[in-house]
Structure 1
Amino acid sequence: MTRTPQCPGCGREDRLQAVPAVYLGGRDTVRVRVRNPDDHHDRTVDRPVTTALSEALAPVPEPPSRAIGCLGVLALLVAVGTFAAGAGAGHWLDDVPVVEGGGVFDENGIFHAPGQELPTAGPAWPDFAWLAVISALALTAAVLVLVLRIRSRRAFTRLTSGRAQAERLWSRAWYCHRCGTVHFRDAPGEDTRPLTFQEFRERVWQEGGYGDLAATQRALGGVLSIRPGQ
């Protein structure tokens, strides 16, 4: 039977746990009740919950935020809404009247032969042209957001292509709940001393080829909830 190694920090083994188990144990989905603003009735939704400790031990960076995608959807809704409002109020899609029968004289005394378009006193749509401008701008913004979203996702996928290598090293790490530190076990060439969350993140992410992101996505969340001796 393999014995759990002692923590190099406190010299004890009763509070050690494999990093993957700690990481997965801090990620869950909870069902909560929220008020529906449309009919003022409660409804249940599932929301992901992640502990600060689990976030600090993550083997990969956070993916691009979905907030920009929500802005794109909002811009698309604005584009459709303003175009529909302008088309309805300005009669943009109405058919142009065509002369039938033997022809007619308009109010200016000009004769219009059968099959010709009969000019009106003046189209109403210019009064609502500003809605067309807003619709075009919103549609342009929606397209740009979609392009940026696709490019950022592809860039993130390329950046984290070495995740498998990072997780191989990450899976050999142990976390001490008493010391609040991480150390490697049976990882050739790796230092066995206790590591802080940030040191651990830098080493694992460097193994995956995205170590530069550890400077901007610092592992601070879990440190605030850990106290030595707990």
Structure 2
Amino acid sequence: MTSRHPQGKVGHRTREVVSDLSRALAPAPIRDQPPGLTLLVLGAVTTAFAVFAFIAGNLARTFDHDEPGFTTLQGQGHQGFEVPAAIPVIALVVAAVFFVTGGVLNASAARELAGRPRAEHLWARAWYCDRCGTVHFPPGRGLPAGALSLQEFRRVVWHAGGYGHLVRGD
């Protein structure tokens, strides 16, 4: 796809378009992004917040003696605001939860797709009939006989890969 920028420069953008048919015939689930990516980004943002709160609390170095555990931040001509000392610690704990959960989700997705070569081997043996909208396997041992709907085909291939539980309607 070519586009023109306001400055007259020509730029190129690439995007992938996946049709409903190709999604239905895919040998494995099509993922737009790793499942834990959002949690990993949230973990990074929360860590940055914790570091900021820690630095802001230490830069102030003015302790409010009325309420221990708080740091008062004051700027020139501004009223001070208080940063509870526990905020960076709580933020780091929340960030750790985000990182661990995101990592577990990514590892789980990688384990699920480890059987993809088996699924692709079976998938490559089949063919799609555009006229009748069904999928067929050559006659053979252990292969389904007859015409399969797209849903049935996906179920057979994905079960061979070990991620059949991800088939919708199963």
User: Quick one: distance in 1 between partners of 2:57 and 2:133?
Assistant: 62
Q: How does 1:72-83 map to 2 (within 5 A)?
A: 72-83=43-54
Normalising to structure 2: TM-score of the pair? 0.69
Is 1:159 the counterpart of 2:112? The answer is: yes
Q: Does 1:188 align with 2:141?
A: yes
Tell me how far 1:186 sits from its aligned partner: 5.1
Query: Is the alpha carbon distance of 1:33 and 1:87 closer, same or farther for their aligned partners in structure 2, counting shifts above 3 Å?
Result: farther
In structure 2, give the amino acid aligned to 1:129.
V
Structure 1 residue runs of 4 or more that deviate by more than 4 Å after TM superposition = 30-34, 43-47, 120-125
When Rg is computed on C-alpha atoms for both structures, the one with the higher figure is: 1
Structure 2 segments unaligned to the other structure (5+ residues)? 6-10, 73-81
2:58 — aligned with what?
87
Q: 1:139 to 1:187 in 2, by over 3 A?
A: farther
- Residue in 2 that maps onto 1:202: 155
2:53 maps to amino acid: T
Q: Give CA-to-partner distance per residue, 1:27-53, whole Å, 9 cap, x none.
A: xxx67789xxxxxxxx87654432222
Change (3 A) 1:83 1:124: same
Residue 180 of structure 1 aligns with an amino acid whose one-letter code is: G
1:69 counterpart = 2:40: yes
Structure that is richer in helix per residue: 2
CA contact (8 A) 1:59 1:170 kept: yes
Between 1 and 2, higher relative CO (CA 8 Å, sep ≥ 6) is seen in 1
When the two chains are superposed, the root-mean-square deviation of aligned CA atoms in Å is 3.3
Q: Which residue is 1:111 aligned to?
A: none
Distance 1:139 1:44 in 2: 40
- AA in 2 matched with 1:151: V
Q: Deviations over 1:99-157 (max 9, x none)?
A: xxxxxxxxxxxxxxxxxxxxx99599533332x43322222111111111222222222
- The farther-off stretch of 50-59 and 61-70 is 61-70
Q: Which amino acid aligns with 2:158?
A: W
Structure 1: tracts of 5 or more residues without a match: 1-29, 35-42, 93-119, 219-230
% identical aligned pairs? 38
Q: What TM-score results when the alignment is normalised by the length of structure 1?
A: 0.53
Q: CA deviation at 1:69?
A: 2.1
Aligned counterpart, 1:126? 71
